[in-house]
Amino acid sequence: MYLTNCIPRALIGAFSVTTEAAMKYQQTLVKLFQFSIVLMMLYPVYYVWETDKIYSACQQVKPGMTYQEMVIKLDHHFGLGLSRITGDYSQGEKWQGWVESHASLAGYACEIRGSGNQIAGVRIVKGKQIAP
């Protein structure tokens, strides 16, 4: 009789350990799901904030400004910098730089072109318009 009493208790003990592990797994999934919902709610706010900041900065950069004036304006007023640049302005070459959004999945940037130390043109580019 002792053996028949012992076997169900052992099974119940093993089952409760499995159930606790399953509950912890389920709680982790619930927390992950809640976190993803919060991210989905906050992402549009971050996207609008960052793209608006880049748009405003792009409006402040004007043809005829010097390269140094542009860098100071982007950094001090907007906290932005060129993420990529081709060419060397200090050597008097034609150059092209981008202030790119980290929030945009499709691509959003302010493209700044210049020659030597002078800004020649500024425009907003989206998606496939952004050069690789």
**For the chain, domain boundaries:** 2-129
Residue 87 CA to residue 90 CA, distance in Å, equals 9
Which runs of consecutive H residues, i.e. helices, occur in 61-108? 67-72, 78
Sorting pLDDT into bands at 50, 70 and 90, what band is 72?
A: very high
Give percent above pLDDT 70 in the chain. Answer: 83
Compute the Cα dihedral for 112, 113, 114, 120 and give only its sign: negative
Report the pLDDT averaged over residues 64-92: 91
What is the reported pLDDT for 1? 47
pLDDT at 14 over 80: no
Residue 111 CA to residue 83 CA, distance in Å, equals 10
The answer to whether residues 126 and 106 touch, using CB atoms and an 8 Å cutoff, is yes
pLDDT tens digits for 26-62?
Answer: 889 889 989 989 888 999 999 999 999 999 999 999 9
What is the reported pLDDT for 59? 95
Which tokens hold the place of 7? 């076997």
User: Could you tell me the pTM of the whole model?
Assistant: 0.70
